[in-house]
Amino acid sequence: MNEIVVAFEPKSGARARRAASAKTRVPRRYPARIARQVALAFALRRRVESGEFDDFASMARALGFTRARITQLMDLLLIAPEVLEEIIFLELFAGAQPVSERALREALCRSVDWQEQRRVWEGLKAGFDASHGPRSAVILRPAP
C-alpha cells in the first residue's frame, strides 16, 4: 500500500502577521473616477493652450475622441472653481462611485451661476456620507 504524507505548516511568523494585519487593515481609498475625468479635461485644455493642437476638433481626431466627448469633458471646466477643487480631491473606497460624470454635468452644468452650482454640489455631497461604510465617499480638502 502506498503512503502519502502531507505536511501542513501552522500559521506562524510572517504569514500569521500578514493574516492578522489583513483583518485590521483600513480599506484603501482611490481617486474618484470623476476626479480623474476633471484632471483629464484640464490636461486636454492645457495641450490646446500650449499650441500642441490647433483646436479641440483636431485634438479629438488625433487622440481618437469624438468632438462630442471633448465637449463633454470641457463642460466640466465650467463648474465653479471651489467645486472643482473638491471634486479633484475626492477619494472613494474601491467600487464606490456615488456620482457619475453624466449626473454631475446634468446637475451642475445646466447653470452657469456658480452660487447655484455650489448649492447643488452641497446637495450631491450630502448623498454620499462617509459614515455609511466602505462603499461611501470621502471628501478630502487640500491643506491650507
Residue 37 pLDDT level (bands cut at 50, 70, 90): very high
Instruction: Report how far residue 105's alpha carbon sits from residue 74's, in angstroms, rounded to the nearest whole number.
Output: 10
For residue 114, being part of any structural domain is answered with yes
Q: What is the pTM of this model?
A: 0.70
Q: Which of 100, 95, 89 lies closest to 28 in space, CA to CA?
A: 95
Residue 78 belongs to what domain range?
30-139
Instruction: Report how far residue 134's alpha carbon sits from residue 1's, in angstroms, rounded to the nearest whole number.
Output: 54
The pLDDT value recorded for residue 97 is 79
Our count of domains for the chain comes to 1
pLDDT at 102 over 60: yes
For residue 71, being part of any structural domain is answered with yes
Residues 6+ apart with CB under 8 A from 104: 34, 76, 79, 87, 124
Residue 133 pLDDT level (bands cut at 50, 70, 90): very low
Mind listing the pLDDT tens digit for each residue in 44-96? 999 999 999 999 999 999 999 999 999 999 999 999 999 999 999 988 877 77
For residue 52, being part of any structural domain is answered with yes
**Secondary structure (DSSP) of 118-132:** HHHHHHHHHTS-GGG
Cell readout for 12 is 506562524
**Count of beta carbons in the 10 Å neighbourhood of residue 21:** 9
The pLDDT value recorded for residue 42 is 97
For residue 5, being part of any structural domain is answered with no
Provide φ and ψ at 46, rounded to 5°: -60, -35
For residue 16, being part of any structural domain is answered with no
For residue 17, being part of any structural domain is answered with no
pLDDT at 6 over 70: no
